[in-house]
Amino acid sequence: MKYFVLDRGDSLSRSLTGQFHALAASRGMQLSEDEPDVVLSIGGDGTMLHAFHVFKERLDSIAFVGIHTGHLGFFADWKADEIERLANLMAESGSRLQDKIVKYPLVKIELTTSFGVETFLALNEFTLKGADATLVAQLNINDSPFEMFRGDGICISTPSGSTAYNKSLGGALIHPSLEAIQIAEIASINNRVYRTIGSSLILPKHHHCDIVPKKEQKVVLTVDHLAVPHTSVLNVRSMVAERKVSFARYRPFPFWNRVREAFVGDDVK
Ligand code: NAD
C-alpha cells in the first residue's frame, strides 16, 4: 500500500506526519508522492481541500483520509490520538482498500472568458461574487432563462460542501450519496424592482446552470479555498461532475452523525 501525507505545516501537524511515517514504515507501507493509493491530510478541512486540489488529476486512483488537529472536521474525521489505530487499519486493509471506499459527487465548472474555456472541479463549492460592486448576472437553468440576479454573489456547492459555506447561506444539507448540486444566493437584492427566487435550488445530475455576468464586470471566482479575480467572464456553467472523489472509510462515521456532532452537539436535551 502506497501513501502520501499532506499536512497544514504547523508544529502539531508536522509532528503527526513524522509519527505517521514511522508507524507506516514499521507496517510495510510505502511512501509515494507520485502514485499513492491513499493520501492522508493532517490539519483541518482546509488541509483536505488543499490535498484534493494537489491530487485532482489522479482522483480515479486515490482515496483520501483526514486527521484533524483541532475540532472535528467534516473531511478530517480522525483525531490526532487515533493515529496509530488509523495506521493499523490502513496497513490491514492493504489490497482490500476498494471495500473501504465511499465516493462523493463533485461540481464541475466550465468558465468561459474572452481567452477561452477552462474547466475546474470543486470539492465544496464555487462562488461567483462581484469584486467591488453588486454582482449582476443572468441565471439560466438548462438553457432557459430563470432570473436576473443582483446581490453579493452565487454559491454552487456539492452535497459534501452543503455543510460548509452553503449552510451559512441557509442552504439545505444534502447527503453525499445524492448526485446533485445546490445553488444558493449570497445576499440577493429583493424589492419591488428586483426579484430572485430567494430559496436555494437543488439540481440533479445532467442538469446545468449558467451564470452570465453583466459585461465587463469585475468578479471574483472562488473554487473551494482558492480565489481568482476576473474582468472577462462571459459565462460560468456548472453541473455535477462525471468524476467523483473517493474517501477511505476505515470505520463507519455516518454523514448525519457528523452533522449532529458538528452543529448540534451532545448538550442539547
Ligand atoms: P477556513 O479555514 O476559514 O474554513 C472555514 C470553515 O469551514 C472551517 O471551520 C472548516 O472546518 C469548515 N469547512 C470546510 N469544509 C467544510 C465542509 N465540507 N463541511 C463543514 N465545514 C467545512 O477556510 P479554508 O480552510 O480556506 O476553507 C475554505 C472553505 O471555507 C470554503 O470551501 C467554504 O466552504 C468555507 N467558507 C465558509 C464561509 C462561511 O461559512 N461564511 C465563507 C467563506 C468560506
Kindly give the distance from the C-alpha atom of residue 121 to the centroid of ligand 1, in angstroms, as a whole number: 17
Least confident of 33-42, 56-65, 67-76, 144-153: 67-76
Domain residue extents for the chain: 2-104+245-263, 106-242
Residue 45 among the catalytic residues: yes
Atom of ligand 1 at shortest range from CA of 161: 18
In sequence order, which residues have a C-beta less than 8 Å from that of residue 219 and are 6 or more positions away?
128, 129, 130, 131, 135, 213, 229, 230, 231, 233
- At 97-112, the pLDDT tens digits run 888 999 999 999 999 9
pTM for this prediction: 0.96
Indicate the pLDDT class of residue 265, thresholds 50, 70 and 90: confident
Nearest CA to ligand 1 atom 6: 164
Q: Class of the 106-242 domain?
A: mainly beta
Mutate to test the pocket of ligand 1, among 165, 173, 259, 263 (most ligand atoms within 8 A of CB): 165
Residue nearest to atom 26 of ligand 1 (CA): 225
**Segment 62-80 mean pLDDT:** 90
pLDDT above 80 for 126: yes
Cell numbers found for residue 76: 478530517
Q: Whose CA is nearest to atom 18 of ligand 1?
A: 161
What pLDDT, on the 0 to 100 scale, is given for residue 268?
Answer: 59
Q: How far is the CA of 46 from the centre of ligand 1 (A)?
A: 7
d(CA 107, CA 180): 8
Residue 30 contacts residue 3 (beta carbons within 8 Å): yes
Neighbouring-strand partners of residue 185:
154
- The tally of CA atoms less than 13 A away on the side-chain side of residue 91 is 18
Among candidate residues 7, 37, 45, 210, the one labeled active-site is 45
Q: Which atom of ligand 1 is nearest to the CA of 44?
A: 11
Is residue 239 within 8 A of residue 208, CB to CB? The reply is yes
Q: Which CATH class is domain 2-104+245-263?
A: alpha beta
